[in-house]
């Protein structure tokens, strides 16, 4: 999960390593500045090959349902609305993540929501690939 602010605009993204191919390269750098964390992938954690083509539909469904609420209007049109509990002071959240300053309670609730969202997505992916034997690694900061 990545969050960045530039010129009062926030950017965010999420990535999931599916195969072991990029791991040797990723283990030579410090991704996201987290020197005390390891890099892994879904295939390594589950003990079976998980391809991006196989993971993408489930990941997409999990991400959309975790971040957005579905609304129907009078014309039976589907609208997605960003969940209210994901709203907050993103500027302070980014300051807290990048340098530990800012410290307002709204930024804490947003970061907590993001953390829960990521865990929900990983749990849903784990449930989808139910042959995982190392499920605890997903939830133990690996």
Q: What is the pLDDT of residues 92-123, one digit of tens each?
A: 544 444 444 333 333 334 444 555 666 666 66
Q: In the numeric block, which tokens belong to residue 87?
A: 């709203």
Hey, what's the torsion of the CAs at 6, 17, 139, 59, to 10 degrees? 80
Percent of the chain with pLDDT over 70: 44
Burial (0-12, 13-18, 19+ Cβ within 10 Å), 26: middle
The verdict on pTM exceeding 0.75 is no
Question: Using 50, 70 and 90 to split pLDDT, how confident is the model at 9?
Answer: confident
pLDDT single digits (tens) 39-57: 888 888 888 888 888 888 8
């Amino acid at each position: 999960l990545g969050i960045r602010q530039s010129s009062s605009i926030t950017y965010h993204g999420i990535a999931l390593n599916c195969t072991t191919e990029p791991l040797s390269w990723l283990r030579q750098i410090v991704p996201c500045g987290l020197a005390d964390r390891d890099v892994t992938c879904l295939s390594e954690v589950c003990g079976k090959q998980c391809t991006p083509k196989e993971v993408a539909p489930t990941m997409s469904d999990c991400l959309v349902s975790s971040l957005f609420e579905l609304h129907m209007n009078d014309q039976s049109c589907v609208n997605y609305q960003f969940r209210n509990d994901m709203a907050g002071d993103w500027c302070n959240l980014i300051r807290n993540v990048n340098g530990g300053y800012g410290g307002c309670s709204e930024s804490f609730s947003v970061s907590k929501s993001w953390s829960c969202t990521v865990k929900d997505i990983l749990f849903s992916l784990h449930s989808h690939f139910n042959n995982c034997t190392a499920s605890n690694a997903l939830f133990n900061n690996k």
